[in-house]
Amino acid sequence: MFNIGFVGSKGIAITVAKELKNNKDINIVAVYSRSFEHCQEFAKQFGATPYKTYEDMLEDKRINAIYVATPHRFHYSYSKKALEKHIPVICEKTLTLNLKSAEELFEIAKKNNTYFVEAMWTWFNPTAYKVKEWIDNNKIGKVKTFKADFSLPSIYAAKKFRLTDLNSGGGSLYDLGIYPVTYAYRLFGYPKSIKATAKMKRDIDFQLKVIFEYENGIKAYLTSAIDRFGSIAAKVEGTEGKIKLPMMFHAARKAKLKSKQGNQIYKDKENILLYEREFVIASQEIQEGLIESRFVSKKSTLDVMKILEEIKSQINLKYPDDR
């Protein structure tokens, strides 16, 4: 049995816990959140021990790994405390609010020979790898463009809502735009140029447009927003065909290929849920003694963090920790 301690008891924490609930090999044994009331509710629902302090939870000897599922601004502090105690950490995206903090966490993980991974679950998804395989095998000829959008309206009128709060790491880039950016990076690598524009409000990006240009002529058009609906889909176009990913492209379980070589539809037929797959793989890697994931590497996470820093600079997005 692989035992996990949760940091966070709402939102994504509940979504992940529900997927893990029926997995006989993974057990949620502990939970901590800033609200002990919410912590107790989560503990009752998922059979975990609630803790009033994070430090007390880290002393629970049953725990094999910590899952950090808090708002972005807390990722650094919670991850650091666990890694310093040699406890493996699975930390939600986006890893931290700046590159320097992310680099420091990986250094601590290396120093303590402890597993540390960003929970960018798209890249635990076989569909994403099938798309890359089609591209790498020239199924659509020479790639010309990649377009991806993740625009989904939030409760943006509420001034205290996390996604519209600068101090909580709000804005579209770190919650939604991270998916198109990461997808483009994982398909084509680090771009030679980055151009970003944004519709700013309350000092954060409510809408974002980014263009990557690559040495080989590929252009990636990436958009995100927290105040409007978009396609939440992705498309790759080449000289001899195209690949389409449906709505919720980042979590897609199928992809369509149309090309001169013939049409294909890929369907992920594995009977395992997306978050569950991520935790199964992470638990296996931890038990193997790895300190870095084969699926989401240190290099890929830090490269994307560097890209985010450039985008932030161009749109003048500055979080408190950046100052």
- Per the CATH hierarchy, to which homologous superfamily does domain 126-267 belong? Dihydrodipicolinate Reductase; domain 2 (3.30.360.10)
pLDDT at 160: 52
pLDDT in tens, 181-199: 999 999 999 999 999 999 9
- Return the CATH number of the domain spanning residue range 2-121+275-296: 3.40.50.720
What strand order describes the sheet that includes 241-245?
A: 193-201, 204-213, 219-225, 143-151, 234-238, 241-245, 254-259, 264-267
In this predicted structure, the answer to whether residue 312 has a pLDDT above a threshold of 90 is: yes
- What is the DSSP pairing of strand 116-119 with strand 143-151? unpaired
pLDDT in tens, 284-306: 999 999 999 999 999 999 999 99
pLDDT at 247: 94
Q: Among 115, 205, 215, 117, which Cα is nearest to 169's?
A: 205
Q: Among 180, 192, 190, 193, which Cα is nearest to 147's?
A: 180
For residues 234-242, average pLDDT: 98
pLDDT at 167: 85
pLDDT in tens, 121-160: 888 889 999 999 999 999 999 999 999 999 988 654 445 5
When the pLDDT of each residue in the chain is averaged and rounded to a whole number, the result is: 94
pLDDT in tens, 52-110: 999 999 999 999 999 999 989 999 999 999 999 999 999 999 999 999 999 999 999 99
pLDDT at 157: 42
pLDDT at 306: 98
Q: What percent of the chain has pLDDT over 90?
A: 84
Q: How far is CA 196 from the centre of its chain?
A: 20
For residues 4-18, average pLDDT: 95
For residues 10-21, average pLDDT: 93
All structural domains of the chain with their residue ranges = 2-121+275-296, 126-267
